[in-house]
Amino acid sequence: MEFISDDLLQYCENHTSEEDLLLQKITRETQLKVLKPRMLSGQLQGKMLELFTKMINPKIALEVGTYTGYSAICIARGLNKSSKLITMDINDELETMVRGFFEESGLADQIDYRLGNALDLLPNVDGPIDMAFIDADKINNEKYYELILEKMNTGGIIMADNVLWSGKVLVEEGKKIDKDTQAILDFNAKITQDPRVENVLLPIRDGIMMARKL
């Protein structure tokens, strides 16, 4: 997932605001108790989300894919007191853990945590949305994007994670492409060609596609 050397990554982390005790706890508990802990946003991406949120200053932020709550807390920390984050996830087995982390963060009142299939939940979200972060199953990226874009303010920002897919987007000639990789290739092409947005693909961690609604 990382595309720079361990030493250079460590240098970047050493020159990024440190994780506080709660984020360290979420990382530790996720690694100990939850499958696929590499899905965590981590220090660099988490701080980036927090700072982007502060710059965008959304009234309503949206996240598809809460996982154990790390990125949601980072986004919520960037909100002003009158704003809120709606975050949704299909895995209700993590609910108790995640709600506990939200309470510890002191931001539970600003985080609207919804459980269920995002394709069913998104149509019921009251807009307009100013910022969104998509970090769920890759097969449905395009569907999430369309449902969010129609509810988004002009100038709103959508970010989608894992768009480099550990380098699998560089397909070797003659090599069979799996469904997730093909979905990401199609999603990246769609965003790049979409006249409704301007975009940049950031090589941060596993790649973030950022699109701004025109």
Contact 207, 185 (CB under 8 A): no
N-term to C-term CA, the chain: 31
Tokens matching residue 163? 């768009």
CA gap 142, 144 in Å, rounded: 5
- Cβ atoms of residues 65 and 113 within 8 Å: no
Element spanning 99, H or E: helix 95-105
Listed in sequence order, the residues at least 6 apart from 174 whose beta carbon sits closer than 8 Å to its beta carbon are none
Pairwise CA distance, residues 185 & 165, whole Å: 9
Domains in the chain, CATH or no CATH each: 6-213 (3.40.50.150)
Nearest Cα to 41, choosing from 77, 74, 64? 74
Burial of 137 from C-beta contacts in 10 A (0-12 / 13-18 / 19+)? middle
CA 190 to chain centre: 19
Report pLDDT for 173. Answer: 81
Q: What is the pLDDT along the chain (214 residues), one digit of tens a residue?
A: 567 788 998 999 999 999 999 999 999 999 999 988 878 899 999 999 999 999 999 999 999 999 999 999 999 999 999 999 999 999 999 999 999 999 999 999 999 999 999 999 999 999 899 999 999 999 999 999 999 999 999 999 999 999 999 999 998 887 889 999 999 999 999 999 999 999 999 998 899 999 999 9
**Residue that is written with structure tokens 């988490």 in the block:** 46
- Alpha-carbon torsion 25, 82, 130, 114, what sign? positive
Burial of 82 (0-12, 13-18, 19+ CB in 10 A): exposed
